[in-house]
Structure 1
Amino acid sequence: MEQSNVINAYCERVGLGFWDEPLNAVTNLAFVIAGLWVWMRGRGVIPVQVLAAVLIAIGIGSGLWHTLARPWTGAADVLPIVIYVLAYVYFANRYYWGMSVPWAAGGTVAFFPYAAATIPLFSMVPGIGGSAAYMPVPLLIAIYAVLLRKRLPEVARGLGIGVAILTVSLLMRILDEPICDAFPIGTHFLWHVLNAIMLGWMAEVLRRHLAGGGRGR
């Protein structure tokens, strides 16, 4: 493989080899572990098991990105994350709001113009950089949490916890480059660990809701 195709995008990578991002690579196991945990917790609950499968795919795709670091592995890294977000928006619309399938799907499609409108705004915030693409997600979760606080208070609290974890996780992603000189291994690996915890928790919020009588088996 042409070493010139290797993408050096993170503080930890100082070479062009397969294991030149060891922490960034190994911590993708957190997604696989979270996915397996969610799968076991959500046995027989199809929406939860869908999220579990995508969680495992996130770990695999991100693992490829942080080892091979080729352009195509960037797609393998991002695509499962996008799928997870869209799947969760659909399930939230369907089971938290009780929408019909067409309305839930339509609300999910609406995520694209929402993201297109908000990402440029976040890009204007100094220091956020490439993490601006992720910022619409905690904002949307926070909006859902506020709107659901009376209808489904337990779900709203769970979503609020998810926002808190994701906010810290994004901070670790943002800080990776700025503190690289002082902390050569970077902080991106903490983005992996915290993000895996957050995504697993979000699936657990859905599982608890469905187990408590929400529709969705």
Structure 2
Amino acid sequence: MTGTVRCVLAAVGVLGVIGVLAGPVAAAQKRPPGVPPGEVAIPVAGKTDVATSNGPLRVLAPHGPFGSARAVIVMVSQGPRTTVRLKVTGVGRTAAGRTFGAHLHTGPCVAGDGAAAGPHYNTDVINGHKPVRVDHEREIWLDFTVGPSGAATASTAVRFVPRPGDRAVVVHEHATDHHGTAGARLACLPLSWD
């Protein structure tokens, strides 16, 4: 190793140590109210909750394209915002190119019993607001279009956090219209939110 390389490495090491020491000192000098002198305030994000479900879709209507389908859903809330991602695989090839509505419902997912899932989870209904508005801001809509391989994905973000409970993500026969309707209930995936 040449003398020049050693000098450069030593300088980089010294600058690194200065940076490590200077960072907390600078932070302590601009500490928020309530943080004692000599201590560093570390910002922490708001509470985060995560719910996931992964498995075969439960069939609600016989002879549909979801008999062999599986799904994964991940729902993450942080502060007043919730992000939801859905991936469906194994949908029958005859459904390629079709769009299906999918929504979070208030009740559980019970194979063969679409009514058990209850209505859509709607924040106006849950909070007793009138008139009840039905849209993608007050409900979780995850419409998806099936690709040639039988797979589809969907995601959405809303400005609310669902209340705890056993819920269902229900797949409907048609794409969701502007009234929030999407036809018959074909399949569902359970999702528990604590």
Q: TM-score, normalised by structure 1?
A: 0.26
Greater gyration radius: 2
Higher strand share: 2
Q: TM-score, normalised by structure 2?
A: 0.28
Higher helix share: 1
Higher relative contact order (CA 8 A, sep 6+): 1
